[in-house]
Amino acid sequence: MNTRATKLLALSAVLVMASYFMSSAFADGKRPIEMRFAGGFIQNIQQAQVDMMGIPTGVVESRNIVLAKGQGTFGRVDLMGVSYSGPPISNRSCSNGLVKVADIVENNLVLTFNDLSLLYGNGAGVVCINPGDPTALPIAEIDGTWDGGTGRFENAGGNWTIEIGVAEPVGMATQFIAETGVLKGYVTRPRHDD
């Protein structure tokens, strides 16, 4: 009986300490974040824009949705992202000699953690191709800022980048992509929030 009571006491102490460390994760105001993710990406959902009267403007945007699961600095996470792309007219360029084929005009993220805390991100980027490998899929280069959240991430700020590792079509002639990647950056909160 004494052993069982000792185990329960030890488990209780671990849970209390875990809660303490989770709630004070931002004691220094800034934390690095790294999260590996995997999931599905639906691309090229065409949406015709309309004016305030509902009349088509002639502008067509390519909308994209990603649903992924991840693991990282703040534990397990579900990631949902919505973005849209447009013609390559910004001053942003691709890295490593790649050629820009589109701008990622907006990339919105919602990360949902196991404790149901939410972290909101907004970003932009470019879609690039490798002219030396015409069969390779385009590469997305995306970065952004954290713009608040709920729970542990209320009033959060900071920056992030996404590096895509694997992006493979699921089936022939499909706009559904299986992808993996890493989200890196840092998260900040004002010190008075702790």
pLDDT, tens digit, for every residue of 2-22? 666 555 555 444 444 444 444
Q: What is the pLDDT of residue 151?
A: 95
Asked if pLDDT for residue 190 goes beyond 50, the answer is yes
**Structure token digits, residue 50:** 């309309």
Higher pLDDT, 76 or 22: 76
Dihedral (C-alpha) 50, 122, 99, 184: value to the nearest 10 degrees?
-160
State residue 160's pLDDT score.
Answer: 98
pLDDT at res. 26: 56
Q: Which amino acid is at 177?
A: I
Q: Hey, where are the domains in the chain? A: 26-193
- 3-state SS, residue 168: strand
- pLDDT (average), residues 77-87: 91
What residues pair up with 70 in beta bridges, in sequence order? 37, 77
pLDDT at 28: 55
Whether residue 87 is predicted with pLDDT greater than 70 in this model: the reply is: yes
Report the Cα–Cα distance between both ends of the chain, in Å, rounded.
39
Dihedral of the CA atoms 23, 28, 34, 39 (nearest 10)? 40
Higher-confidence residue of 39 and 136: namely 39
Tokens found for residue 5: 């009571």
pLDDT tens figures, 131-142: 999 888 888 899
Q: Between residues 184 and 194, which one has the greater pLDDT?
A: 184
The predicted pLDDT at position 3 comes to: 64
Q: For residue 160, how many other CB atoms are within 10 A of its CB?
A: 23
